[in-house]
Chains A and B, each alone.
Chain A
Amino acid sequence: DSGVTQTPKHLITATGQRVTLRCSPRSGDLSVYWYQQSLDQGLQFLIQYYNGEERAKGNILERFSAQQFPDLHSELNLSSLELGDSALYFCASSAPLRDEWTDTQYFGPGTRLTVL
């Protein structure tokens, strides 16, 4: 158990709908990352938050948005869903940034999204 929790574990929805994925980082971790794993794209970085602020953005679609709340949990919102959005969505967290930048990212169990 990595200490990172994600809910729900599975999500089945229809095209055009909107869903929210939730992530709670490990105790003490300030950084939260979201990744998408799909068969055709592999593991792709979506977005990173650090202590409530957006820190880096990857290949995140405009239909997707995220935020990190004061209690450090994060939510990833996916809207106007398409068939191609079906994937495994991971949240990861790491400790506060340090000079060595060696902090390991620990992953949650993932949310498997199926868009029908």
Chain B
Amino acid sequence: AQKITQTQPGMFVQEKEAVTLDCTYDTSDQSYGLFWYKQPSSGEMIFLIYQGSYDEQNATEGRYSLNFQKARKSANLVISASQLGDSAMYFCAMRGRRGNEKLTFGTGTRLTIIP
């Protein structure tokens, strides 16, 4: 079984500062994918970034980067130069090997950016 743990229910960060959202995972699959999604107050789920278990380099997408530490089973999201529009719920998710493509989500972190 797969499990995602997000230990920060809420975070407050000053605008323009960098923020790290924590995510640890557990799986018995050798091949898996790790994802981060953003859910603004409007409710939609927006894909941010993906990291494959065999990727040697950390994924980056604009201001988002994923700090992947396979031995520690962590996949933290780093947002650089935070903006007011970054205020939202952030979910870490995992997808397993072929035949187990469903996403398993963590409980999320509510990020609030303070002007």
Contact residues in A for B107 (Cβ distance below 8 Å): 42
Interface residues on A, range: 20 to 34
Query: Chain A interface mostly helix, strand, loop or mixed?
Result: strand
> Is residue B63 contacting chain A, with contact meaning CB distance below 8 A?
no
Q: Is B62 an interface residue (CB 8 A)?
A: no
Q: Once the chains are docked, how many angstroms separate the CA of A29 from the CA of B107?
A: 27
CB distance from A54 to the nearest CB of B (A): 13
Q: In the complex, which residue of chain A has the Cβ closest to the Cβ of B45?
A: A107
Say whether B90 faces chain A, with CB atoms less than 8 Å apart.
no
- B residues touching A (Cβ–Cβ < 8 Å)? 31, 33, 35, 37, 43-47, 50, 52, 91, 93, 95, 97-105, 107-108
Q: Which 3 residue pairs are nearest across A and B when measured between Cβ atoms?
A: A107-B45, A43-B105, A45-B102
